[in-house]
Amino acid sequence: MPLNALFAEADKTGEAADFARELEAELIRLRRDFHRHPETMFGVDRTAASVAAQLADYGLEVERGVGRYFGKGVVGTLRGARPGKTILLRADMDALPIREQNDVPYRSATDGVMHACGHDAHMAMLLGAARVLSRCREELAGTVKFAFQPAEEGALPIADGSLVSGGRDMIEAGLLDGVDLCFALHVWPELPLGTVGVHRAYAMAASTHFRVAFQGIAGHHSTPHLAVDALLMAAQFVTEMKVVMASEIDPLEPAVLSFGTLRAGTVLNAIAESSEVTGSYRVFEEETVLRIRDAIERRASAIAGSFGGGSEARFRLGTALKNDARAASLAIAAGRAVFGAERTLTLEKPSLAGEDFALYLKKTPGAFAFLGSGTPACRHPLHHPNFGIDERMLLDGAKLHVRFVLEAMREGGVLEG
C-alpha cells in the first residue's frame, strides 16, 4: 500500500479504510492502558517498557534507558530505503500527581496520579505514526526517530544542584545529534476538536521552576528571641517577590510569577527551623529569565541574612518555545493535509504555559503544534482532575505526525505528490 494511500479519505471500504479502523482501535487500547497506569517524572519504568515493546513489535531499532543523568527515555529509529534527512518526532510519557475524578472504566489505578495533561494520548498518537511509517519504509528517504521522553512536567536535582527535566536529560545524552528537523504536538482544549494550531514564532513561555529553602534555628514560642524563624523568612520572601514582579519587570513585557507550595514547621507552638517555597515564573526573553533568577537569589539571601539565617535557591531555568519559521510552514502544510485549510489555524498569541520541547527547538529547527481537543463533553482544562479527551482525535494525531514527516521529506524533494 503506498504511503499516501494509508489515510486516503476517498477510500471508505478498501484496504486503507480497514487499516485506519484497526489502527484507531489499537490507539484507543494503548491510550487507555497508559491512562490506567500513570507514572510521574522519571519514574516511568512500566510506561517506557510498554512503549519500547510496541516499537520493537513494529520492527524499529529501539534504544532504552536514554538520558545522561536518569536514563529513562526511549527512542525508536526507522531507517528509510534511501538517504535523506533525519526527522525526530517526540512524545512525553509522564503523568501528574493529581487524584483523578473521572468515572471511566480505564480511570487511574494509582491513587493520586493521573494523566491530566494528555501525555497518554501523545504516546498513543506517536506509536500510531511509528506503525504507519514502519509499513512504508521502502518509500522513505531518510531516518525517522521516535523519542519518548520522561519528566516533561518537572525536573529533579543533580549533583551540581541544577534541576534537570526529561528533555534536557535526553538531549545531553545526544538525542538530537544529526537531527535535521523535530516536531511535537500537544492536545489543547482551548481549540475545538478537529482543528490544529501552529505559531510561526513564539508559541510558549520560558517556564522556570524554583525551590528556595530557608534555614533558621528552632525554638519555643515563649522565647522567640532565642530562635530564628524560617517560616517568617518564607512569608517575607513571598511578599517581596510579588513586589519585584510589579516594580522591576517592564509592565509591557508578559511576565508572571506564582508560588505553588510552602512547607514549614512541625507543631503549632514551635518556631520553624526550616522552610521551603516552590513556584514558577513565565516570561519570553532570556534576559528576563536571568534577571528574575538573580532577584530570587538576592532577595532570599538578604531576607535570610536579616533574620540571622541562611538560604539556598535551586532552579530549572526555562526556555521559551519558539518555532522555526520554515518548520512552522511545514507543520501548517501537514495540518492542512489532515484537517483542511479552514481548520488549520495560524496562531498569533503565545501561551504563558511552558514546555521543555523548547530545549529541542533551541538546538534543532522544528515546530510544535496544538491539536484541538475542546468539546462540550471534554471542557476541563489541562491539569484538572476531570481532564479527558475525545478519543476520535487519536487517529488524527497519528496522521499529523505522519504528515510532519511527509512534508519534511517532500521539502527535500525526496517524495512526490
Residue range 143-151: mean pLDDT, rounded: 98
DSSP string, 81-96: SEEEEEEEEEEE--BB
* 280, three cell numbers: 514558577
- What is the rounded CA–CA span in Å between residue 254 and residue 25? 43
Of 63-67, 73-77, 163-167, the poorest mean pLDDT is in 163-167
Task: Give φ, ψ of 207 to 5 degrees.
Answer: -100, 110
Averaged pLDDT, 326-339: 97
CA distances 53 to 46, 65, 136, 242, Å, are 11, 13, 20, 48
Kind of pairing between the strands at 181-192 and 366-374: parallel
pLDDT bracket for residue 2 (50, 70, 90): low
| Percent of the chain whose predicted confidence (pLDDT) is above 70 | 95
- pTM here is 0.89
Average pLDDT over residues 201-208: 95
The predicted pLDDT at position 10 comes to 47
117 is in an annotated binding site: yes
399-410 pLDDT, tens digit per residue, is: 999 999 999 998
Is residue 186 a contact partner of residue 118, using CB atoms and an 8 Å limit? yes
Give the chain's domains with CATH numbers: 5-202+321-411 (3.40.630.10), 207-316 (3.30.70.360)
Alpha-helix runs per DSSP H in 135-222: 166-171
pLDDT at residue 350 greater than cutoff 50: yes
Three-state secondary structure call for residue 290: helix
Tens digit of pLDDT for each residue in 211-237?
Answer: 999 999 999 999 999 999 999 999 999
Q: Which helix (H) or strand (E) holds 25?
A: helix 15-36
Where is pLDDT greater, at 260 or 11? 260
Q: Supply the pLDDT for residue 4.
A: 59
Q: Which residue has the cell 490507539?
A: 27
pLDDT at 163 over 60: yes
Q: Which residues are catalytic?
A: 94, 152
Consult the annotation and say whether 401 binds a ligand.
no
Contact assessment for residue 70 and residue 164, using Cβ atoms and an 8 Å cutoff: yes
**H or E element at residue 61:** strand 61-66
pLDDT surpassing 50 at residue 373: yes
Q: How far is CA 28 from CA 25, 43, 212, 392, in A?
A: 5, 23, 42, 9
Confidence grade of residue 417 (pLDDT, cut at 50, 70, 90) = very low
Enter the C-alpha cell of residue 169: 536529560
Of the two residues 414 and 363, the one the predictor is more confident about is 363
Q: Report whether 182 belongs to an annotated binding site.
A: no
CA distance 53 to 249: 49
Instruction: Work out the average pLDDT over 160-179.
Output: 94
CA angle 127, 167, 106 (to 5 degrees): 45
Query: What's the whole-number average pLDDT of the chain?
Result: 94
- What are the distances in angstroms from CA 312 to CA 7, 237, 274, 300, 304? 55, 13, 11, 8, 10
Confidence of residue 142 (pLDDT cuts 50, 70, 90): very high
The answer to whether the annotation marks 186 as part of a ligand binding site is yes
Residues in the chain: 417
Give Rg (Cα) of the chain: 23
Query: Which residues sit opposite 347 in a β-bridge?
Result: 199
pLDDT over 90, % of the chain: 89
* Model confidence band, residue 389 (pLDDT cutoffs 50, 70, 90): very high
- How far is CA 153 from each of CA 69, 80, 333, 382, rounded to the nearest angstrom? 17, 33, 29, 12
Query: Where are any strands of DSSP class E within 357-406?
Result: 366-374
Count Cβ atoms within 10 A of the Cβ of residue 218 and give its class: 0-12 exposed, 13-18 middle, 19 or more buried. Answer: middle
Is the pLDDT reported for residue 1 higher than 80?
no
Q: What is the pLDDT of residues 7-56, one digit of tens each?
A: 555 455 577 778 888 999 999 999 999 999 999 999 999 999 999 999 99
Q: Helix H segments across 248-342?
A: 286-307, 325-339
Backbone angles phi, psi at 143, to 5 degrees: -130, 140
For 75-120, write each residue's pLDDT tens digit: 999 999 999 999 999 999 999 999 999 999 999 999 999 999 999 9
The pLDDT assigned to 6 comes to 57
